[in-house]
Amino acid sequence: MTREQEKLRKQLIALAICLVGLALIVRGVALAWRPGGFIVAGLFIALPALAIARAAEREK
């Protein structure tokens, strides 16, 4: 794989993981009762994935 393909692959995987986290956050918001667990789990999944995607974007 070229360097550019490697970078795009990292970003794609990180963004896919981020979507899972965002889905959990939305699920937690949709639940009117005790949404905290879903929201926290979604944040713990989405935020590191966003950091990885951002780091891959900044790679030269």
Question: In the chain, what are the domain boundaries?
Answer: 3-58
Q: Which residues contact 54 (CB under 8 A, 6 or more apart)?
A: none
pLDDT at 32 (0 to 100)? 62
Distance CA 23, CA 54 (A): 20
pLDDT at 41 (0 to 100)? 81
Phi/psi class of residue 7: alpha, beta or left (left: φ > 0; alpha: ψ in -120 to 50)? alpha
Regions of the chain with pLDDT less than 70: 32-35, 60
Percent of the chain whose pLDDT exceeds 70 = 92
